[in-house]
């Protein structure tokens, strides 16, 4: 946040609060910077038959912690019921991905449709100038591109821009990320300690918020009513090595939990829905020099009439790699091909 305190006075911010230390510290920083802060927690999911996930962002205790922080800081707090939207855009997508042998990323879908969709619309209703979250990321105006750009935070380990690529272009100028300049989580916790917040040492959320114990299979079979069928685990040449318990329990790149013995480590290469088979092979068979990407979101107006050089990665913790980006079928909204 580079704006001066004077320029921020009377500027209203709707801050998404999960009850954790990051969003709680963001509230402190925004208030100290002179903004009029309103805290809001989205009620996304509730399953009374399941225990709360410690550190989860959808639980009753998370809402309570957020409200308690707001009370201590003297700022208002709202609870927004977004269960229907969460079901439609996140849970249904999660289930459909597994039905179609894909691996979903519910956090990205939640950011896209809830945090920067529904939440942003609520901010407009409340006549807020900005929305904010406790993500580690940075937004600033680029003279080079004559536009607002999304940039990495100062923390290479905590940077979360990978999950934020889907922010709508029109929302980007209205985003504030108070934690953009912090390099470690310890710095953030220290501020919360100074303000005597009880969430200062609260555990980070590591699991998918609506799946207790990270048990995807149980959720898909019990809550989503998917009925997995046993099938063969085979090599590319068709040699049968064993049986699987249902395609929903596996994902491409998986090594552990296959339940088969072989002369070398084997990885899931493909899930064949038609044959109900899992094709496995050595690690080298996972390697590829290109991929096709869809559901793109371009935050800058760039010329894609010819291939361009980019940096790309396919997982949050993966190391970036040089790549060439090429538009497919001359349609920005459909597919791009990256050659690594």
Catalytic positions are 110, 209
Which pair of tokens denotes residue 292? 């096709």
Supply the DSSP symbol for 262. -
Cα-Cα-Cα-Cα torsion 335, 147, 318, 252, nearest 10 degrees, comes to -20
Helix axes 185-194, 21-32, angle to 10 degrees: 60
CA–CA gap between residue 210 and residue 218 (Å, rounded) = 12
Element (DSSP H or E) covering residue 12: strand 12-16
DSSP-based helix, strand, coil % in the chain, nearest 5: 30, 20, 50
213: three-class secondary structure by DSSP? helix
CA–CA gap between residue 72 and residue 227 (Å, rounded) = 48
Integer angstrom CA distances of residue 129 from 14, 125, 175: 8, 11, 9
Tokens 């046993």, residue? 230
With beta carbons less than 8 A apart as the criterion, state whether 278 and 233 touch. Answer: yes
CB-side neighbour CA atoms (13 Å) of 242: 11
With beta carbons less than 8 A apart as the criterion, state whether 34 and 9 touch. Answer: yes
Nearest to 152 by CA among 177, 189, 188: 177
Q: Are strands 267-272 and 231-234 parallel, antiparallel or unpaired?
A: unpaired
Which pair of tokens denotes residue 303? 């010329």
């Amino acid at each position: 946040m580079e704006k001066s305190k004077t320029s921020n006075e009377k500027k209203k911010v709707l801050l998404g609060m999960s009850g954790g230390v990051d969003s709680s510290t963001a509230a402190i920083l925004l208030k100290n910077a002179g903004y009029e802060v309103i805290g809001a927690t989205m009620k996304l999911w509730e399953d009374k038959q399941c225990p709360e996930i410690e550190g989860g962002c959808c639980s009753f205790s998370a809402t309570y912690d957020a409200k308690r922080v707001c009370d201590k800081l003297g700022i208002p707090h709202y609870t927004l019921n977004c269960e229907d939207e969460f079901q439609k855009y996140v849970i249904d997508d999660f289930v459909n991905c597994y039905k179609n042998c894909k691996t979903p990323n519910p956090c990205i879908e939640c950011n896209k449709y809830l945090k920067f969709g529904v939440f942003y619309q609520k901010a407009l209703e409340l006549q807020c100038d900005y929305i904010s979250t406790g993500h580690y990321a940075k937004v600033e105006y680029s003279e080079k591109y004559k536009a607002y750009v999304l940039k990495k935070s100062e923390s290479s380990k905590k940077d979360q821009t990978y999950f934020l690529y889907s922010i709508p272009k029109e929302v980007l100028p209205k985003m504030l990320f108070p934690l953009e300049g912090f390099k470690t989580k310890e710095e953030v916790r220290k501020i919360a300690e100074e303000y005597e917040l009880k969430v200062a040492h609260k555990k980070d959320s590591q699991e998918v918020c609506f799946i207790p114990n990270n048990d995807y299979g149980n959720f898909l079979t019990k809550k989503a009513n998917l009925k997995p069928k046993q099938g063969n685990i085979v090599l590319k040449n068709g040699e049968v090595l064993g049986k699987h318990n249902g395609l929903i329990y596996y994902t491409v790149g998986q090594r552990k939990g296959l339940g088969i013995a072989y002369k070398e480590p084997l990885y899931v290469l493909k899930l064949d829905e038609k044959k109900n088979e899992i094709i496995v092979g050595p690690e080298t068979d996972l390697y590829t020099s290109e991929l096709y990407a869809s559901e793109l979101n371009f935050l800058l107006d760039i010329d894609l009439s010819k291939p361009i050089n980019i940096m790309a990665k396919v997982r949050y913790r993966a190391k970036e790699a040089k790549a060439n980006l090429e538009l497919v079928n001359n349609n920005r909204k459909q597919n791009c091909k990256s050659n690594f």
